[in-house]
């Protein structure tokens, strides 16, 4: 069964539909895993809901992994339930809530957020998906759920993946937006993949086909966000490069 792991959506629903259409043509999406940050920042969180529901209605397995913005969205919903005014919520969360309510998709979105919050770590045969990362000294077992969701190098710091020795197999993450998807290998086998390529900021939406060991990618429909410069990931000395990416470009 082919498994497609898709990077941070951030409400970019139309790009998700486009990437899934590409995956269908490539026969690469029997199972879909979303690495988190589902609804906030982008213009079409309702389309994200519809795309997930459509996939499940077609009989595909869709797994949702918890991202830090999913937790923020759940917290905003709880605060609103407790009487907090919409204008007192975070602007990204308030906007996403309004868009979802307008499309009558908030109940379904809330259900999906609860599913994601219950899945910090998703493991398969030789691979693991978490949103943020793994402490390279402690390994997966010693990494807290907080770090699995939030781990990210500050500007100027060495990313965790440059120090990861591959002990826990392939780790697939999002969270840290990069100019290009990252794939690092040790001794020829993939050990780290990052599929966050900043779709909500004008980059691209990227998926990684685990069994095929390749990327699928569609360009963002969002304008480049002012002040946002995606990081360029440099491979550590032990790492070899990943495969050539596949693009789907709109006419």
pLDDT per position as a tens digit, 38-76: 999 999 999 999 999 999 999 999 999 999 999 999 999
pLDDT range class, residue 107, cuts 50, 70, 90: very high
The domain ranges of the chain are 3-247
pLDDT of residue 225: 81
| Strand, coil or helix: 246 | strand
Q: What is the pLDDT of residues 162-212, one digit of tens each?
A: 999 999 999 999 999 998 999 999 888 999 999 999 999 999 999 999 999
Residue 32 has pLDDT above 80, yes or no: yes
Superfamily designation of domain 3-247:
Metallo-dependent phosphatases (3.60.21.10)
pLDDT at residue number 27: 76
Instruction: Please enumerate in sequence order all residues whose Cβ is within 8 A of that of 177, keeping only pairs 6 or more positions apart, or say none.
Output: 8, 196, 197, 198, 201, 203, 230, 231
Q: What is the pTM of this model?
A: 0.93
Name the residue with higher pLDDT: 246 or 221.
221
Q: What's the confidence (pLDDT) of residue 249?
A: 46
Asked whether residue 123 carries a pLDDT value surpassing 60, the answer given is yes
Q: Is 245 helix (H, G, I), strand (E, B) or coil?
A: coil
Q: Mean pLDDT over all residues of the chain?
A: 92
- The more confidently predicted of residues 195 and 241 is 195
At residue 239 the predicted structure's pLDDT band, cuts being 50, 70 and 90, is low
Across the chain, which distance is largest between two alpha carbons, in Å?
55
Gap between the Cα atoms of 194 and 171, Å rounded: 9
pLDDT, position 30: 85
């Amino acid at each position: 069964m082919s498994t497609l792991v898709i990077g941070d959506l951030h409400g970019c629903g139309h790009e998700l539909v486009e990437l899934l259409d590409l995956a269908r043509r490539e026969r690469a999406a029997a199972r879909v895993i979303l690495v988190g940050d589902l609804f906030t920042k982008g213009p079409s969180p309702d389309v994200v809901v519809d795309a997930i529901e459509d996939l499940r209605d077609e009989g595909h397995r869709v797994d949702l992994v918890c991202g830090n913005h999913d937790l923020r969205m759940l917290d905003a919903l709880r605060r609103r339930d407790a009487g907090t005014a919409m204008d007192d919520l975070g602007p990204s969360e308030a906007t996403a809530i309004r868009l979802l309510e307008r499309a009558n998709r908030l109940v379904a979105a809330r259900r999906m957020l609860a599913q994601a919050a219950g899945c910090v770590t998703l493991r398969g045969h030789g691979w693991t998906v978490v949103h943020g990362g793994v402490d390279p000294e402690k390994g997966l077992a010693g990494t807290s759920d907080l770090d699995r969701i939030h781990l990210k190098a500050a500007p100027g710091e060495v990313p965790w993946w440059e120090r990861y020795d591959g002990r826990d197999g392939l780790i697939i993450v999002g969270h840290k937006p990069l100019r290009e998807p990252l794939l690092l290998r040790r001794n020829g086998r993939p050990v780290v993949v990052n599929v966050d390529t900043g779709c909500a900021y004008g980059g691209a939406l990227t998926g990684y086909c685990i069994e095929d060991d390749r990327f699928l990618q569609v360009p963002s429909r969002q304008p480049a966000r002012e002040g946002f410069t995606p990081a360029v990931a440099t491979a550590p000395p032990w790492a070899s490069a990943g495969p050539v990416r596949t693009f789907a470009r709109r006419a």
